[in-house]
Amino acid sequence: MTMRKFVSVTFFITLLFVVAPAGAAELVNQDGIGTWPVSCLQVESTFINVVTCDGSSVQQWSWSPAGELVDTNGRCLSIYSRTYDANGDLVEIVRNPIFDRTPAKPYPCDGAEDQRWRSEEGRIYAIPLPELQVFHPVICLGFQRQAPAGGPSRVIGNNSVADCDDSFYFWAIDQRPVPAANTDLFGFEDVFGGWSSPSVVLSSVANATEGANAMGVPARGYTEVDSVPFATDEMPGSGNRIAVDFFLPLNQPNAYWYGTLEIVFVVPSAGLWHEYLGLVDLLSLAGGEGQYHTLTFNMTPALANVFANGADDAAIKIFLNVPQEAISLYLFDNLRRVP
């Protein structure tokens, strides 16, 4: 009897968002591998399928303010499976700390971290999950394919999550429209349009020192927050110092170390890739928990020169390093120049 040997090769089809009406979007593969057709992720009753794009409602997805990918039935794309009782109430989230290409499925949105995603550098990442940090610290959303040796590609699985560092994967691309710097960037009136974080989901909070909203950062440990690029003459105020209103949460888990806050500017056209403005020891704010504080940072001579001459590609990085046990939001508002 002749034995046929098949070699399995796994790919991750590139996914991108194509803008659709009412804030929804299609998840479309554009991998360009072989003759595989352009396809969309479609919601079935209990799973996700890959089919030809037809613009139907079951192929539409939207982002929630919490960073969830929500289907047209109001369910959230989830990494872990779930069990429910006869009344439809959640009984258990089945966590699997050692997994390989776990199929993502839609479940009722319950606020769990495995239902939250972020977009960066053309990929859709899962929010870091503590139980996966040892074996799977960085995982991405994509789709599996498998091909027998010498044969055409064929689909074998559903929409999946897997490690982002596998050379056989093509990444998920999110083309959700994000505007360039807007007039509300420095007042944090449009948090989702002006700011992002590679590790946490930001929020818009009504507790503000000016305008209607402030930016909430659920920092735990070391957390980075990045602005979109902006023109230096858009920043309000004048002078060679940067000021920001910062809300220190009431509950501090470590009485001896509240953490630190740092600000860095990036201006590629001026050759500034990490212009460090300094560090604030948050313990210096002790006694002012549950209140806003105005923090100021002196511009470096190089950055002051950039503001004097103007640049169109400035960006700000905020770094918070706080206790891992922190449970409250750190708030930012009214970023500006001061004398």
Residue 230 DSSP class: B
Q: Indicate the domain borders of the chain.
A: 10-163, 191-338
Answer for the pair 261, 246: CB distance below 8 angstroms, yes or no: yes
* Per-residue model confidence as pLDDT tens digits over 83-123: 899 888 888 888 776 555 567 788 888 888 888 877 655 56
* Per-residue model confidence as pLDDT tens digits over 10-67: 333 333 433 333 344 545 544 434 334 455 667 776 666 666 666 677 767 776 766 7
Interatomic CA distance for residues 298 and 243, integer angstroms: 9
CATH class held by domain 191-338: mainly beta
Interatomic CA distance for residues 14 and 33, integer angstroms: 10
Q: What architecture (CATH level 2) is domain 10-163?
A: Trefoil (2.80)
Interatomic CA distance for residues 27 and 19, integer angstroms: 10
Phi/psi of residue 235, nearest 5 degrees: -70, 130
Interatomic CA distance for residues 269 and 84, integer angstroms: 55
pTM: 0.51
